[in-house]
């Protein structure tokens, strides 16, 4: 079955530390993968997307993600966390070009001062 | 200019009432979606329209009826509202060829009392 799994519903990092949010997918065809961020009481904003070009994708706000087919992963990273990064992050996948994007259950990122 | 706009932003209503949520996009996208986000932040697709044609209809009670008068608008009408319908409803749009990333509206928080 096609799915997107985010490991850890809550992640806490100190300001200035590395951010790593984990995402794994299950798909029978090469997927398109996305990371979205949701700030409180707001809609979802696209951070970055992988659409079968470069496996290392750079997004907005200093985030990047690497598509690893062998690990079926698409983890999101940022070298140095900022207080403004505190939000809910969603990994999502489009497993079939004619189908819908499937979302993971989200990871709440907390930034510790 | 807001790319995907939803109205109203908040909606409080009594059980049994009928209500509508409107969505408009000015991006020229050909596909629009309704997603429901529950209290645990889980996002689940409800409907998708491509150029006014219904293409995705998930397992949603038939009290929910989408209507797309043109490809820039996708409204959601809900009959006989129930307590379990309380959630945040997001409208989104995308271009199904080439881009695939969704652009989300800011959401409508529906509270049924």
User: How does DSSP assign chain A, residue by residue?
Assistant: --EEEEE-SEEEEETTSPEEEEEEEE-SSPPEEEEEEE-TTS-EEEEEEE-SS-SEEE-GGG-EEEEEGGGTEEEEEESS--GGG-EEEEEEEE-STTSPEEE---EEEEEE-
pLDDT band at A21 (very low <50, low <70, confident <90, very high): very high
- The C-alpha atoms of residue B88 and residue B20 are separated, in whole angstroms, by 13
- The C-alpha atoms of residue A31 and residue A97 are separated, in whole angstroms, by 9
Cβ(B82)–Cβ(B101) below 8 Å: no
Average pLDDT over residues A63-79: 96
Mean pLDDT of chain B, nearest integer: 90
- The whole-number pLDDT of residue B96 equals 67
**Is A44 in Cβ contact with B41 (below 8 Å)?**
no
pLDDT band at B97 (very low <50, low <70, confident <90, very high): low
For residue B95, which residues of chain A lie inside 8 Å, CB to CB? none
Q: Give the number of beta-carbon pairs within 8 Å between A and B.
A: 51
Q: With an 8 Å Cβ cutoff, is B59 touching chain A?
A: no
pLDDT band at B99 (very low <50, low <70, confident <90, very high): low
> How far is the alpha carbon of A1 from chain B, nearest alpha carbon, in Å?
16
Within a 10 A sphere around the Cβ of A23, how many other Cβ atoms? 24
pLDDT band at A86 (very low <50, low <70, confident <90, very high): very high
- The C-alpha atoms of residue A102 and residue B62 are separated, in whole angstroms, by 22
The residues on A that touch B, with CB distances below 8 Å, are 32, 34, 36, 38, 41-46, 49, 51, 88, 90, 94, 97-101, 103, 105-106, 108
For residue A99, which residues of chain B lie inside 8 Å, CB to CB? 56
Q: With an 8 Å Cβ cutoff, is B43 touching chain A?
A: yes
> How far is the alpha carbon of B107 from chain A, nearest alpha carbon, in Å?
6
Average pLDDT over residues B31-36: 93
Give percent of chain B with pLDDT exceeding 70: 94
pLDDT digit string, tens, across residues B16-33: 999 999 999 999 998 899
**Is B107 in Cβ contact with A106 (below 8 Å)?**
no
**Is A103 in Cβ contact with B43 (below 8 Å)?**
yes
């Amino acid at each position: 079955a096609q799915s997107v799994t985010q490991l850890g519903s809550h992640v806490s990092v100190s300001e200035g530390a590395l951010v790593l949010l984990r995402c794994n997918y299950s798909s029978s065809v090469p997927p398109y993968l996305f990371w979205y961020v949701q700030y409180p009481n707001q809609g979802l904003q696209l951070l970055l997307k992988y659409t079968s070009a470069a496996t290392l994708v750079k997004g907005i706000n200093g985030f990047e993600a690497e598509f690893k087919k062998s690990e079926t992963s698409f983890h999101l990273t940022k070298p140095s966390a900022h207080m403004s990064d505190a939000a809910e992050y969603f990994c999502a996948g489009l497993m079939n070009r004619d189908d819908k994007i499937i979302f993971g259950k989200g990871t709440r990122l907390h930034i510790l001062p | 200019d807001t790319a995907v706009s939803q109205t109203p932003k908040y909606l409080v209503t009594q059980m049994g009432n009928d209500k509508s949520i409107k969505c408009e996009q000015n991006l020229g996208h050909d596909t629009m979606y309704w997603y429901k986000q529950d209290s645990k932040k889980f996002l689940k697709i409800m409907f998708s329209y491509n150029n006014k044609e219904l293409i995705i209809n998930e397992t949603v009670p038939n009290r929910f009826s989408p209507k797309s008068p043109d490809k820039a608008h996708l409204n959601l009408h809900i009959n006989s509202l129930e307590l379990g319908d309380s959630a945040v409803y997001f409208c989104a749009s995308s271009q199904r060829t080439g881009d695939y990333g969704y652009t989300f509206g800011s959401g409508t928080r529906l509270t049924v009392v």
